[in-house]
Amino acid sequence: MTGKPHLPAVARRRWAGLGVLVLAVTLVAVDATVLSLAIPSISETLDPSGTQLLWIGDSYSFVLAGLLVSMGALSDRIGRKKLLLIGSTGFGAASLLAAYAPGPGWLILARALLGVAGATIMPSTLSLIRTLFPDARERATAIGIWGAGATAGAALGPLVGGVLLEHFWWGSVFLLNLPVLALLLVFGSWLLPESKDPEPGRWDVLSVLLSMVGVISAVYAVKEAAAHGLDTWAVPVTFAVGVTALTAFVRRQLRLETPLLDVRLFADSRFTAAVVASLTALIGLSGVIFFMSQYLQLVRGYSPLEAGVAEMPAFVGAVVGGLLTAQVARRTGSRATLTAGLLAMGAGIGLLGWVHEDTTYLLLGVSFLVVGTAEGVVYTLASDLVLGAAPADRSGAASAVSETAYELGTALGIALVGSVLTAIYTGALAVPAGTDPAAVARAGESIGGAVEAAGSLPQPLGDQLLTSAKDAFVQGMNLAAWLAAGLLLLSAGLSWYLLRVRGRKPGPGGPTGPYGSGVPGTVEPAADRLSA
């Protein structure tokens, strides 16, 4: 009897702790896309080359993706709260360096350091949710809120960037991190419980190096192949290094008594379906944000703030989708919900394949809303499936796989979609006769370069070059959208296949698992089975 009056206070503290975790994951997600609207300003101020510009966008996600599995395993060992607070401090220091970077090389380095710090934050947030919410239904709701923060953060990045760029210089998008991090450190120290694996084993340094080399090398090779083809020896060599490192990593994990990543988790079809869905959904979302931010500003002439507001339906949809995921999945089942989410996202991105320079905003708004809502559902449900498939003492490593898919998807979305767009743009650009060779070179690198070059040319050459550049960019954008949509449709088919009923025994949540009817093969995590 004496303990009952304290239950409401415990519950309030638990949900307040969730608020801290949502703040953390939103911050990291915002940083993945906040620079999209600042690209023209950075180009003008720091004068990066086309390759440097891509690395300014990619270095954060590449390093983050390469380290997430390692940092997830480290959080299981030294404590998830401790690593979250250490990472938040490092994130603040790297934000200062990025804000005042004197050149493109320094900005790339700062973004990479932000990725290192972000890798300590992301897996800690999801695994701490498991500690805060042992009840399966409460945890599903909590993950829905957390997922809304993650997906909404990525969609919110352009709006935040637009508001700041309307009044300040591009470095202000990094300084915004500092007051948020101060709140995170203060309230995280107070509200969050510590949790870790009671028998963690040793942290295998060789596995850390193999995973990082493998992920970064393989993704870099794919990015370069999409941009430049296989003409250079660096692409096959780098890809071979990546595949070799990842193969060695997997074999080593199978031999280790306490692996950095338990690759046997992928034997569970729910786990595999969830990871693939997260990866492909983020490829679609980040690709859309990357090319639409440029389209709105450089093709349609929107200001950064106007472009951010125009993309608001994606943010609203991501929040709504994340919050409704648990309710929808309980009614229709995880298989139908995940597949429908991927199909809807593919359809929304496919709409952008018919966009032209003067397309009505209604089509754009509908596409943004559908893509954002579907992404909110897919990512939230996938995150819950990952946690449900993993043992409680491996939640940090398992959630790190989910976050790696998130960040790899972000990096690949920019790399692949951006590379396809750039290749088509370069091939379709028609330069008027008599144009200065220096202006031709600038225009050929990007549409931002074409806008600058057109402004320096006499008329009518400037107008002709600008018109050709806009047409070429829209062509590239249309094809990139269709390719991304096709990838989402393939992922939907794969998810439907992987989540089919295989005669598994149901968990204690009922005959069809904690989500209600139609959740094939869903089994409660070990902690919930023990408490049931």
pLDDT tens figures, 62-107: 787 777 777 777 777 777 788 888 888 888 899 899 889 888 888 8
- Residue 405 to residue 401: CA distance in whole angstroms: 6
CA 26-31-36 angle, 5° bins: 125
Domain 4-204+256-523 CATH (choose: 1.20.1740.10, 1.20.1250.20, 1.20.1260.10, 1.10.150.530): 1.20.1250.20
| H-helix segments, 333-446 | 334-351, 361-389, 395-412, 418-428, 437-445
Q: What is the pLDDT of residue 244?
A: 94
- What is the arithmetic mean of pLDDT over 356-380? 88
Count of Cβ atoms closer than 10 Å to residue 236 Cβ: 12
Q: How confident is the model at residue 346 (pLDDT cuts 50, 70, 90)?
A: very high
For residue 233, is pLDDT > 90? no
Q: What is the pLDDT of residue 366?
A: 92
Q: What percent of the chain has pLDDT over 70?
A: 80
For residue 531, is pLDDT > 60? no
- What is the arithmetic mean of pLDDT over 326-332? 85
- For residue 508, cis peptide bond before it (omega within 30 degrees of 0): no
Q: pLDDT: is 34 or 209 the higher one?
A: 209
Q: How confident is the model at residue 343 (pLDDT cuts 50, 70, 90)?
A: very high
- What is the arithmetic mean of pLDDT over 228-249? 84
pLDDT tens-digit map of 48-65: 776 677 778 777 777 877
Q: How confident is the model at residue 528 (pLDDT cuts 50, 70, 90)?
A: very low
Q: What is the pLDDT of residue 226?
A: 60
Burial letters 417-449, b for 16+ CB under 10 A, else e: bbbbbbbbbbeebebeeebeeebbebbbbbbbb
CA 402 to chain centre: 10
State which of 29-33, 191-195, 269-273 shows the largest mean pLDDT: 269-273
- Residue 157 to residue 288: CA distance in whole angstroms: 13
CB 398 within 8 A of CB 261: no
Joined together, the tokens standing for residue 383 give 């995150």
pLDDT tens-digit map of 38-50: 777 777 788 777 6
The domain ranges of the chain are 4-204+256-523, 205-255
Tokens 């590379």 correspond to what residue?
Answer: 419
Integer CA distances (angstroms), 312 to 57, 77, 187, 276, 399, in order: 21, 40, 29, 26, 28
Q: pTM of the prediction?
A: 0.69
Q: What is the pLDDT of residue 422?
A: 76
DSSP, residue by residue, 450-502: HHHHHHHSPTTHHHHHHHHHHHHHHHHHHHHHHHHHHHHHHHHHHHHHHTS--
For residue 525, is pLDDT > 50? no
Q: What is the pLDDT of residue 504?
A: 43
Q: What percent of the chain has pLDDT over 90?
A: 6
Q: How confident is the model at residue 370 (pLDDT cuts 50, 70, 90)?
A: very high
For residue 217, is pLDDT > 90? no
Joined together, the tokens standing for residue 48 give 């990066």
Joined together, the tokens standing for residue 401 give 């796989």
- Closest CA relative to residue 413, chosen from 223, 216, 221: 223
pLDDT tens-digit map of 143-196: 777 766 776 676 667 677 777 877 888 888 888 888 888 888 888 888 777 776
- Residue 412 to residue 407: CA distance in whole angstroms: 8
